[in-house]
Amino acid sequence: MPSVVKINVLTVPAEQREVLEQRFASRAGAVEGSDGFEWFELLRPVEGTDQYLVYTRWRDEESFQAWMSGTMQAAHRPAGEAGRRPAASGSTLWSFEVVQQAAPKQG
């Protein structure tokens, strides 16, 4: 069974970029212990867009769904910040299956 990749596309106004990055940094470690989790990256736009990409890779769809319904929900609850507004003004989830992959050659 191929791994699955989920890319959450977050539209983030320039004035909210630092807020978004700080919120992700404060959650560091929240996903790493999840069953089936394989990889995470937060990608900052360099030019031409205001969209961040949140890349996660999972062993299978079931692992991702279990994280979504459990750990992710808890991680996205404001801790003592009732009414805290999202840093992103929009969000779209893209889903992919890994068909091919490559890593640097050893030696």
Q: Look at residue 83 and tell me if it is in a domain.
A: no
Q: What is the mean pLDDT of each run of 10 residues along the chain (107 residues)?
A: 93 94 88 94 94 96 93 55 75 94 90
**CATH code of 22's domain:** 3.30.70.100
Residue 35: predicted pLDDT: 95
Per-residue model confidence (pLDDT) at position 38:
96
> What confidence score (pLDDT) does residue 89 get?
85
Residue 9 counted as domain residue = yes
- The helix/strand/coil state of 81 is coil
- Which range marks the domain in which residue 66 is found? 4-77
pLDDT given at position 11:
95
pLDDT at 61: 96
Domain count, the chain: 1
- Degrees to nearest 5, angle at CA 70 with 67 and 71: 70
The per-residue pLDDT for 14 is 92
Residue 86 lies in a domain: no
Amino acid at 40: F
pLDDT at 41: 95
Q: Is residue 31 part of a domain?
A: yes
